[in-house]
Structure 1
């Protein structure tokens, strides 16, 4: 008579029940041993998830403001501002594991030779110390350029642009190792909203030349950096640009796809269409800038969202319910595609939101909207393994099953960190207890 070996006791995250997300689920068998290598049969184990491998991101611009205020010579925050930013940071850290920081050249270095390195470094350190991955946005862009750059001759603009990319990629290495190397290249050489030096040189150097400049200089300064090509243009023009860049030998680590939905949510069908069209390149994909409104939509006749200027744009109860539904659909759609590694929402709160739009997940007063609660319920609920008690089998084994990421197994009050890898199949590891 044959017998089937007993399976280790399992700690399962709720996500296992969702067939559309099975490709996100990993299993890890943890074998617990004593210092001599013997199995800890019957050991009581508390298993718990600590982080996701998938990047649930948001912008960290508020933290830069807080960091700048704390520097010598900085403008102190009022008590109300300090309390609001502290509250927003608490809400941020409860959901997000990736932060995008602003490196727009015009605001980062408004006076030549005086970059805001200290404030950005302090903000980056704040997140890194809390286990948050940090991305810089962007190294090269034709918008938000310093005024002092415009009158310079083209060869000097290119020299300074190369130097800027090298400087910041090098100086922030270890804190900021992910960059939008270059932003919105499709429109860069023909941008006519203002007179800026980067558009001017892009018209001469060409789109591929600008991409090569950004990637080559950033890669040379930080060989370990993850570099993205990022754009809002989801048309065939961006596809052709990717084709040309790859043909020219540019090593693109991931494609950045923007989705500011001020004029209405894309919905599942459009999002899937975009993902399928850009997945043909075999590159990992990051949804780098997502906005969904909780108030009236922007009129459809605006081609450039920046043209819609209003003093007030309120959130509404009906809009907030709509936003919550759309946030859930959007994130489920993104995680349902196996080549998407990151989704960055563009603003935690309506406080300081781009265009004064009600696009935050939190109201301006720091109270969460339904969309925040919905997203948290996914990230830290359905897609999360909370503290679970299991008993090791006769071989000292327990099995963790859930989203890829970092987990802990606690035995006799001591926590041991283990990893459910994002790549590959089921895995095994050994934890020595009492060493």
Structure 2
């Protein structure tokens, strides 16, 4: 008998349906419907304008977790003038539809606020601390998960200005050190939302990032998850490499979030390119052969990561080609708005193989029903009343009152 590679994702629940007095109700017909996974299947969301209604419906047919952009340079392009209203509307729209939210990122040396760069470091640091506190406080209750700091491994070395001058965040990190910079982000965010999930995120999946995580934890800094980026513009990593990365970072005992995932449906980026940002071409179309490859690889990628017990979430980076990072054909939706084969292939997993379709059941003589499915949130409907329950991984027993 073949072992179930997803057994650690499943709930085996015994649910007792009761009346208002707590008495079991035997012979009660109920409909059980899954409404969310415990595992975070995420993606950057489409725009909220009316033209994107079809795209939003496709998005919601696949994902239940959204990463919202809080890049300082775009969120506050002019000092004191923010995109708070716009982001708040997006967050409220998504949350009202049961979507879990994450903000990205609170601290990063790229897409930074240029008006901060010329300021003295002590002034820049106070502004950065205030920016972190403001965003976390403003969105507390809506956004309780944050990529607190992004790409710290290269942060003190990064130069992207035309004259070679380091930006303020880079200079700050070089002056303070990587670990104190992480502490700054975590401490300020935690001060405004003590229960927030705060993630250390990086694209460097090698020894330098492992060392940073070790130093951060040794310093007593409380990070809640390790973020791992995987923009596979040069080709799919493969199962062996994915498992190797997971094993190396799982040793820290923290959940792993694959925070940024992309797979191409067109020509791959040449292998000799170092920084992905350096590859710029006029036209980078999706192709029939590329779409077939993307569909096959996305199944392999998600199947491998969901099978690893340390992985808690996967976020696909760029839902459609119209807004794909670097103009690459990495989206799941074509420029004309139609789904690629990768969308359907992933949907067959997330809302098919790993999902419980609505099922009609009848409570036994003790008022119980038994449920085996991927853990998550479920709606129990008796026709006259309904309840929503969170069913955890493993064995679970609970009572649900469903008044007649």
Residues 107 and 382 (structure 1), Cα distance of their counterparts in 2 relative to 1, 3 Å cut: same
Alignment-derived partner of residue 38 in structure 2: 53
* Residue 172 (str. 1) matches residue 139 (str. 2): yes
Asked whether the 8 Å contact 1:27–1:427 carries over to 2, the reply is yes
- TM-score, structure 2 as length reference: 0.96
Aligned residue for 2:211?
240
RMSD: 1.3
When the two structures are aligned, how many residues end up with a matched partner?
Answer: 399
Q: By how many angstroms is 1:60 displaced?
A: 2.2
Structure 1 partner of 2:57: 90
Change (3 A) 1:126 1:18: farther
Deviation at 1:433, TM superposition (A): 2.7
Q: Is the 8 A contact 2:46 2:319 kept in 1?
A: no
* Structural mapping, 1:25-424, within 5 Å: 25-60=10-45, 62-63=47-48, 66=49, 82-83=50-51, 85-194=52-161, 195=165, 196-422=167-393
Q: Determine the structure 2 residue equivalent to 1:6.
A: none
How far 1:222 moved relative to its partner? 1.2
Judged with a 3 Å threshold, the aligned counterparts in structure 2 of structure 1 residues 18 and 325 are, in CA distance, closer, same or farther, namely: farther
**Mapped partners of 1:57, 1:385: distance in 2:** 19
- Any idea what the Cα deviations from partners look like across 1:381-430, whole Å, max 9, x if unmatched? 111111111221111110111011111222134222222114xx311111
1:431 equivalent to 2:388? Answer no
Whether the 8 Å CA contact 1:311–1:356 is kept in 2: the answer is no
**Contact map agreement 1:166 1:220 (CA 8 A) in 2:** yes
Gaps of 5+ in 1: 1-16, 67-81
Give per-residue Cα distances to partners, 1:206-252, cap 9 Å, x unaligned. Answer: 11111011001010111111100000000100000000111111101
Give distance in 2, aligned partners of 1:421 and 1:315.
40
* Offset, 1:61: 5.6
Distance of 2:280 and 2:3 partners within structure 1: 42
Q: Taking structure 1 as the reference length, what is the TM-score of the superposition?
A: 0.89
Secondary structure of the 1:198 match is helix
TM-fit CA distance, 1:50: 1.1
Aligned pair in 2 of structure 1 residues 414, 307: CA closer, same or farther (>3 Å)? same
Distance of aligned partners of 1:37 and 1:152 in 2 relative to their CA distance in 1, 3 Å threshold: closer
- After TM superposition, the structure 1 stretch with the greater mean CA deviation from structure 2, 36-45 or 130-139, is 36-45
Residues of 2 paired with 1:94 and 1:228: CA distance? Answer: 26
User: Does structure 1 retain, via aligned residues, the 8 Å contact 2:384–2:403?
Assistant: no
> What does residue 79 of structure 1 align with?
none
- Contact 1:292–1:327 (CA under 8 A) maintained in structure 2: yes
- Distance between the aligned counterparts of 1:344 and 1:414, measured in 2? 35
8 Å CA contact 2:291–2:341 kept in 1: the answer is yes
Please tell me whether the aligned partners of residues 61 and 101 of structure 1 are also in contact (alpha carbons under 8 angstroms). Answer: no
Q: Secondary structure at the match of 2:110?
A: coil
Distance 1:433 1:86 in 2: 35
Determine the C-alpha separation between the residues in 2 that align with 1:220 and 1:294: 43
The one-character-per-residue Cα deviations of 1:335-376 (angstroms, maximum 9, x if unpaired) are 101111110000110012111100001111110000000111
Is the CA contact 2:202–2:228 (under 8 Å) kept in the aligned structure 1?
yes
1:93-141 deviation line (CA, Å, top 9, x unaligned): 1111110011111111000010111011111111111111111100000
Deviation at 1:36, TM superposition (A): 4.0
Query: 1-side partners of 2:89 and 2:12: how far apart?
Result: 37
